[in-house]
Structure 1
Amino acid sequence: MDELGAQEAAVFALIKDNPFIGQQEIADALGLARSTVAAHIAQLVQKGYLLGRGYMLPQPSRAVLIGGAVFDRKYRARQAIVLETSNPVDGMRSFGGVARNVAENLSLLGTPTSFISIIGNDEAGAALLAHLRDRGIDVSQVVVTDERPTAEYAAILDPAGDLVVGLADMGIFDLFQPGYLDRAWSHLASASLVFADCNLPAETLQHLIQRRRSARFRLAIDAVSTHKVVRLPEDLTGIDLLFMNIDEANARLSRRGAASLQDAAEAARLLCDAGAGEVVVTMGARGIAVAGTDAVRTASAVPADPRDMTGAGDAMIAGTLHGLMAGQDSFAAAGIGALLGALTTESAASVHPDLSPRFLEANLHRLAEHKG
């Protein structure tokens, strides 16, 4: 509690001992005016030590994920696609969105997880929320609106499974303005880690980065795409951990780059120079680069027998965050992320259906063998 003043610490100690204590009781016990106690409690909420009314205490380790929640549809043609006519397909429906996928992975790994996004007041939005609740994820701060439908992505695939055309309706995320962060701030401030993706508008990302500077949580952000990376501010100060693939990094840095892991390391270093605390730059099957304030390290990808690459990058992020919350340094945590990403490619689903702490532990030997 180094960031608490003496009176704030005394007020917090009384509330921790008795969460039902009244403000006048606190004032009498400490010899303070009730208005002074109320001001200290407001600051404790702002700093994340309390969750608001009822003096609820936050869980010691909790992740909050903010960003995209998408209803995905895939249609795989049974034969060569013929334009301007009906084509027989096999359809599949699933849930996506970077932050949503990361949240589900983290929850399956046993991390207390909350998810914040905006969805439409429609069937797809209701299905998304129901699925997240079934996974044990807190969705109490999700915004439901009648202004736009739930975000949706439709992929038309040829018989080999290659993308022919992708259709994305993501306009609803433009409605997630900074005020929604302010409404949920005590929920964010009480977390140990907050992750956001660049599906959020630029002004909302900027607001989150600015407000994070007076909070205790660690902030991680993922670029999502080369088009959305421009939503990040020029000064990346305030972002503790930044995730990008090499194309996103090059787009952000306005550079061409080269197809090598060392080039990913250079891109990660440049992003640290721009203000990010630590940076993970991925290169798919080539591996990852992790940069901090004093070093840049690289690692080749964990070998896999891939079936579907969907969700692998999101799983990599989740594995890294899981490792960080377990106390690992960023490079070791990124190794866990690389393993989870490889495991996810071996499944047809965007989140591995067998994922659990035991499943991850049972596959750690692949990481050790890979390093060996």
Structure 2
Amino acid sequence: MTNREQEILEIIRKNPIISQNELSQILGITRSSVAVHITNLVKKGFLLGKGYIFRDDSYVSIIGGANIDIQGFPKSKLILKDSNVGAVKMSLGGVGRNIGENLVKLGIRTNLISVIGDDVYGGKILEESRLIGLGMQDSLILKGESTSTYLSILNEQGDMAVAISHMDIYDRMTVDFIKDKKHVIENSRLCVVDTNIPASVIEYVLTAHKTLDFFLDTVSTTKAKRVKDFIGYFHTVKTNKIETEVITGMPINDERDLENAADYLHRAGVKRVFITLGEEGVFYSDNTTRGRVRAKGTKVVNATGAGDAFIAALAYAYMNDLEIEESAKLGIAASIIAISHESTINPSMSIENINLKMEDILSC
């Protein structure tokens, strides 16, 4: 779909009875040009003939971060407070964007609502999104602003040693802006939210769209605090142990503590809970089933994108009506694929490869 076709489709979504003359006036093009674009949208299956009937094509909406990742990889043991010989790699990142790219690779139509600058990095993010088929036409593009940047240093095991995030631009996403995206959010089957965006925006989205299921990626311990007071609005929550402790106010030292934390979240209203535990796998729970799944030993090349791949797999499982244990296994398998490549997004991410990795997943 071309950029112009995407623009026309979004206008029609807001007003399905709009005329071609009205479209031409809004877009500043001739009516005949509008007619050609409409014909192409029908041919491509996005519109089902006259009357602007939309194809029933479920999609996931994501509200979250899109940024540039700069990563440093030491050649040998990382030495702090010193210059380390190694390699530096720049790639596209951001929790929301990463989840979106993984979902596209899993065959799920996805629309990302984020905030970027009109700089070279923002242009790169938009161009790459267009090439891979990740919708970003509803994102906020700010003139004269710098696109969010995330700088991380990995240790010799591929785990993050330290990072600096320059993400002030996300504070520019406002409730008024997100109100204008009501149709995008409401028409999605599922909405994934990451905590890079302001708490006021998250709270508005959750309370204004009560019939929609929301998934949460807490991103970090500090940002997890943003959703503590309205955690119960989420259908599915994916956190690590420390983030869970922050949200629930409960220390987690053993299996019983995990169960108590899950019970706390269920009482608040959360339907599905996934608590990632590193090498110890993931604890999962809903109102009827709970357990843990682990993976056989896997060499970590870059652990940065594991969580993004995990929640993308959970969203895929939701879209395909899978049970919670199967969902947890898909998440672990996707994480294994993610950490086995130096890039945050493994180019070989696919549902076929996830299914192959499922053989390495153990239920406990």
1:157 positional shift: 4.6
Which piece of structure 1 moves more, 243-252 or 69-78? 69-78
Contact kept? 1:212, 1:238, Cα under 8 Å: no
* Structure 1 residues 201-220: aligned runs within 5 Å: 201-213=198-210, 215=211, 217-220=212-215
Contact kept? 1:288, 1:301, Cα under 8 Å: no
* Structure 1 residues 62-211: aligned runs within 5 Å: 62-77=59-74, 89-146=86-143, 148-157=145-154, 163=160, 165-211=162-208
1:349 positional shift: 1.7
CA distance in 1: counterparts of 2:152 and 2:70, whole angstroms: 6
Contact kept? 2:158, 2:302, Cα under 8 Å: no
State the secondary structure of the residue aligned to 2:125: helix
- Partner residue of 1:31? none
Question: For the aligned residues, what is the CA RMSD?
Answer: 2.7
Q: What are structure 1's unaligned runs of at least 5 residues?
A: 1-14, 23-49
Change (3 A) 1:265 1:132: farther
CA distance in 1: counterparts of 2:316 and 2:127, whole angstroms: 24
CA distance in 2: counterparts of 1:279 and 1:58, whole angstroms: 33
1:365 positional shift: 2.9
State the secondary structure of the residue aligned to 2:216: strand
Bigger Rg over Cα: 1
- Partner residue of 1:348? 342
CA distance in 2: counterparts of 1:159 and 1:282, whole angstroms: 22
Change (3 A) 1:136 1:256: same
Change (3 A) 1:230 1:147: farther
CA distance in 2: counterparts of 1:348 and 1:78, whole angstroms: 13
Change (3 A) 1:209 1:224: same
State the secondary structure of the residue aligned to 2:229: coil
Change (3 A) 1:81 1:257: closer
1:227 to 222, 231, 251: 222
* CA deviation vs aligned residue, 1:34-67 (integer Å, no higher than 9, x gap): xxxxxxxxxxxxxxxx9xxx75526432111110
Contact kept? 2:68, 2:92, Cα under 8 Å: yes
The alignment status of 1:308 with 2:302, answered yes or no, reads yes
- Partner residue of 1:11? none
1:347 positional shift: 1.6
Contact kept? 2:232, 2:265, Cα under 8 Å: no
* CA deviation vs aligned residue, 1:52-110 (integer Å, no higher than 9, x gap): xx7552643211111011201123356876859x7765221011111111111110010
- Partner residue of 1:366? 360
- Partner residue of 2:328? 334
CA distance in 1: counterparts of 2:278 and 2:200, whole angstroms: 30
> How high is the sequence identity, in percent, across the aligned residues?
26
Which piece of structure 1 moves more, 325-334 or 311-320? 325-334
AA in 1 matched with 2:275 = V
Change (3 A) 1:132 1:298: same
After the TM superposition, which parts of structure 1 deviate over 6 Å for at least 4 consecutive aligned residues?
19-22
1:297 to 291, 294, 302: 291
Change (3 A) 1:302 1:218: farther
1:248 to 243, 248, 251: 243
Scaled by the length of structure 2, the TM-score of the pair is 0.79
Change (3 A) 1:58 1:261: farther
CA distance in 1: counterparts of 2:198 and 2:179, whole angstroms: 15
State the secondary structure of the residue aligned to 1:196: strand
Contact kept? 1:262, 1:298, Cα under 8 Å: no
Contact kept? 2:158, 2:303, Cα under 8 Å: no
CA distance in 1: counterparts of 2:341 and 2:217, whole angstroms: 23
CA distance in 2: counterparts of 1:142 and 1:322, whole angstroms: 23
CA distance in 1: counterparts of 2:286 and 2:136, whole angstroms: 33
Contact kept? 2:160, 2:304, Cα under 8 Å: no
AA in 2 matched with 1:342 = I
Contact kept? 2:216, 2:236, Cα under 8 Å: yes
AA in 1 matched with 2:337 = L
Instruction: Give the length in aligned residue pairs.
Output: 319
CA distance in 1: counterparts of 2:310 and 2:227, whole angstroms: 21
Change (3 A) 1:302 1:97: farther
- Partner residue of 1:46? none
CA distance in 2: counterparts of 1:21 and 1:83, whole angstroms: 62
* Structure 1 residues 31-46: aligned runs within 5 Å: none
Contact kept? 1:67, 1:197, Cα under 8 Å: yes
Contact kept? 2:285, 2:291, Cα under 8 Å: yes
